[in-house]
Amino acid sequence: MKTQRYTLPVFPIPVFLLPEGITRLRIFEPRYLKMVSIAMKEQGFIIYCNTQQTKLNDNKNVMLWGSWVKVINFNQAEDGILEIDVKCKSLVNIHSLNKNKDNLFFADVTTLTHWSTDKPQVLNNELGGLTQSLRKLIKTNKLLDELYPKIADNNDVWVISRWLEFLPLEQTIKPIFIQQYSFEQAKDFVQSIVQQ
pLDDT tens by residue, 13-70: 989 999 999 999 999 999 999 999 999 998 999 999 865 444 555 545 456 899 999 9
CA separation (Å) from 98 to 142, 179, 180?
Answer: 38, 26, 27
pLDDT tens, 91-128? 999 998 899 998 999 999 999 988 888 755 555 556 67
Strand partners, 84: 25, 74
**Residue 172 CB contacts under 8 Å (≥ 6 apart), including other chains:** 51
Alpha helices in the chain (DSSP H): 30-41, 115-118, 128-140, 142-147, 156-166, 183-194
Taking Cα atoms as reference points, which of 67, 66, 68, 50 lies closest to residue 58?
50
pTM: 0.88
Of the ranges 81-95, 102-116, 174-188, which one carries the lowest mean pLDDT score? 174-188
For the chain, the residue count is: 196
Q: What is the mean pLDDT of the chain?
A: 86
CATH architecture of the domain formed by 6-112: Roll (2.30)
pLDDT at residue 196, as a whole number = 61
